[in-house]
């Protein structure tokens, strides 16, 4: 198990950024499953 401690002052910011990252990762996964190459996904979206 992993536990992450986040300061209360930045809690909302950290949660928002985590949700944005998860959303981006889901988009990348979808594009790869649709047949887009990993290199093209990276060039187009800048993330993997």
- Would you kindly state where each structural domain of the chain is located, as residue ranges? 10-45
pLDDT (0 to 100) of residue 27 = 96
Please identify which residue in the block is written with the tokens 């910011």.
13
pLDDT (0 to 100) of residue 43 = 95
pLDDT tens for residues 18-40?
999 999 999 999 999 999 999 99
pLDDT (0 to 100) of residue 48 = 81
Give the H or E element holding residue 27. Answer: helix 11-33
The SS3 call for residue 6 is coil
In whole angstroms, give the CA distance from residue 31 to residue 48.
Answer: 11
Stretch 7-24: mean pLDDT: 96
Global pTM? 0.74
Is the CB of residue 21 less than 8 Å from the CB of residue 13? Answer: no
């Amino acid at each position: 198990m992993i536990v992450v401690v986040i300061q209360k002052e930045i809690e909302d910011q950290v949660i928002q950024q985590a949700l944005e990252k998860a959303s981006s990762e889901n988009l990348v996964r979808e594009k790869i499953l649709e047949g887009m190459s990993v290199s093209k996904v990276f060039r187009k979206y800048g993330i993997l």
